[in-house]
Amino acid sequence: MKEGELVANRYLLTTKLGNGGQADAFRAWDEVEQRDVVIKTPRLDDRDPEDGEVLRLRFAREAKILCELRHPNIPLGYATGVHNGQPYLVMQLINGKTLDQFTKDYNPIPIVAAAAIGVEIGEALDAAHAAGVVHRDLKPNNVLLSHSGVAHLIDFGIAKSLRPDATKFTAKGVSIGTTGYMPPEQMWGSTITERTDLYTLGCVLYLLIAGQPPFTEGDHGRGVPEQHLNDPPPPFEVHGREVPAELERLVMQLLKKSPEDRPSSAREVIERLQPFLPRPGDSAPVPALIPDPTLKYRLPEEVRPAEAPAAPRPQSRRSPNSRRARAPQSFVSRSEADERERLARKKAANGDPTGALRDIERLVAQADDAFGALDSLVVRLRLAQADIARLAADEGRRET
C-alpha cells in the first residue's frame, strides 16, 4: 500500500504514519463515513513464508481483538479486509502524541498526571483482561495521549489470548516483547497471565514518577534484562522524588519478580491509584502540560468521551474521490473565543490568575474540540494558557 491509493473503493490513503518491525500504518479518509481513520497492514514483504504466515495470523488476531473490544481507552476497530492480497485493519484515529514523546517533553511529570495516566492504562488493561486478552507489550510507545489528554492503549500485535482453545503462535520457552519493559516470566518464556501486564504497567508508572525507567543499562554493572530478573528497583528518593508512601508501595509491588506477589488485578491497581487523582475544580499542573492528562478529572464536563460504537450508516452513492470538507461541530465561535481569551488575560492581570487559568482551560478544551489541536486559534489559546499558568504558579509561591 502507498499514499494516494484507494483501498476497498472507500479508504483514501493520505499520509504514512510510520512503520514498526511488523506493520505499516496510514492515515486515511473514509469516503463513506466521512471521517479520518487509520489503516494498518502487516509487513509481509521479503519474509520467510512460515514467518509471514505467523505474522498474518497474529495480525488477524489483533484485528479481531480491536473489533470486539469496546472501551474508551482502546482505539476502536471498525473493519477488516484484504486489498491486493494484503490484509488490513481500519481503526479509530487518535490525534495526539505517544507517552514516549510526552515524557521527553515533561520529565518527570506531576504525581496527579502520573496517576491519571496510570488509571486510564489500567482501565484499558482491565477491559482486555476481562475479554481474556493479555497485551504483552505495554510500553510508552504503545500509549497514545489524545489532544484532550486521554490515554489510549495501542498495538495489540503480540497480544495473547488466554482462552484454552486459542491458537499459540509463540514456541514454548521463546520470549517476545520489549526488553526494557519485560517481566521475568516473559523473558524466561514461562506462563503469561494478566499479572504480566501489571509488571509493565509498574515500569511505565515508575518512568512517569521518577523520570527514568526502573532499570537502565550499566546500573550495578549489569544489563537491563539481568536487572529485571534479579534486582529490586531503586526507591524514588534516589531520583530526588518525594512520593506518597502508598503510591510508592503500589509501584514497587507491581515490579515484584514473582507474579503472585503483584496486585491481583488491573482493577485493584486502578482503585489504589484513585486517591492520587486530581479533584474536580483543581488547578492545572504547573508547568502546564500539553496535552493535559488531568483535564478529564479537573474539568470533567469539558472533555468529551471517546467515540462510542455507532450503528452502521447506510452506504453513500458518492464517488470515492468526492472528498467533502466537514464543518466542525463547534461548541464555541471564534469571536467568542477571542473575547473569552481577552477576559481571562484581564482577570489574571487584575490579581486572579487561578480563576483565569480555570477559565482558559475550559476555553481550550472547547476550542480544541471544535477546531482541532493544530488550528492557529487553538495554538494561540494554549500559549495563553501557559502564560496564565505561570502567573498562577507565581501567585502560589508568593502565598507560601
Q: For the chain, give every domain's residue range.
A: 5-92, 96-163+176-303, 334-397
105 labelled catalytic: no
Of 7 and 172, the one with more pLDDT: 7
Amino acid identity, residue 202?
G
Of 172 and 193, the one with more pLDDT: 193
Question: What's the pLDDT at 231?
Answer: 92
Question: What's the pLDDT at 46?
Answer: 64
CA dist 203 and 181 (Å) reads: 6
Q: Residues 288, 389: contact at Cβ < 8 Å?
A: yes
Residue 308, pLDDT above cutoff 80: no
CA dist 276 and 86 (Å) reads: 46
Q: What average pLDDT does range 94-101 have in this prediction?
A: 93
Question: What's the pLDDT at 357?
Answer: 93
Question: What's the pLDDT at 178?
Answer: 74
Residue 202, pLDDT above cutoff 90: yes
Whether CATH 3.40.50.970 fits 5-92: no
Which of 1, 98, 78, 99 lies closest to 35, judged by CA? 78
Question: What's the pLDDT at 387?
Answer: 82
Residue 172 — pLDDT band, cuts 50, 70, 90? very low
Q: What percent of the chain has pLDDT over 70?
A: 85
Question: What's the pLDDT at 360?
Answer: 92
Residue 346, pLDDT above cutoff 50: yes
Q: Is 78 exposed, middle or buried (0-12, 13-18, 19+ CB in 10 A)?
A: buried
Q: What average pLDDT does range 389-396 have in this prediction?
A: 81
Q: What percent of the chain has pLDDT over 90?
A: 57
Residue 322, pLDDT above cutoff 90: no
Residue 130, pLDDT above cutoff 60: yes
Q: What number of other Cβ atoms are within 10 A of residue 270's Cβ?
A: 18
Of 160 and 250, the one with more pLDDT: 250
Identify any residues that bridge with 15 across adjacent strands, giving them in sequence order: 27
Judged by phi (left if over 0) then psi (alpha if -120 to 50, else beta), residue 379 lies in: alpha
> How many residues does this entry show for the chain?
400
Residue tagged active-site, from 137, 155, 197, 369? 137
Residue 319, pLDDT above cutoff 70: no
Which of 12-26, 182-196, 320-334, 383-397 shows the lowest per-residue confidence on average (mean pLDDT)? 320-334
Residue 118, pLDDT above cutoff 50: yes
CA dist 65 and 86 (Å) reads: 19
CA dist 51 and 318 (Å) reads: 40
CA dist 97 and 373 (Å) reads: 12
Q: What average pLDDT does range 328-346 have in this prediction?
A: 78
Q: What average pLDDT does range 331-336 have in this prediction?
A: 77
Mark out the alpha helices in the chain (DSSP H runs).
49-68, 99-105, 111-130, 184-187, 194-210, 224-230, 245-254, 266-273, 295-298, 334-349, 353-371, 376-399
pLDDT tens sequence across 12-45: 999 998 766 688 999 999 999 999 999 999 987 7
State the fold for domain 96-163+176-303.
Transferase(Phosphotransferase); domain 1 (1.10.510)
Residue 341, pLDDT above cutoff 60: yes
Q: What number of other Cβ atoms are within 10 A of residue 229's Cβ?
A: 16
Residue 268, pLDDT above cutoff 80: yes
Residue 189, pLDDT above cutoff 90: no
In the structure grid, which three cell numbers stand for residue 364, read together? 481550550
Question: What's the pLDDT at 399?
Answer: 65
In the structure grid, which three cell numbers stand for residue 33, read together? 463515513
Average pLDDT score, the chain: 85
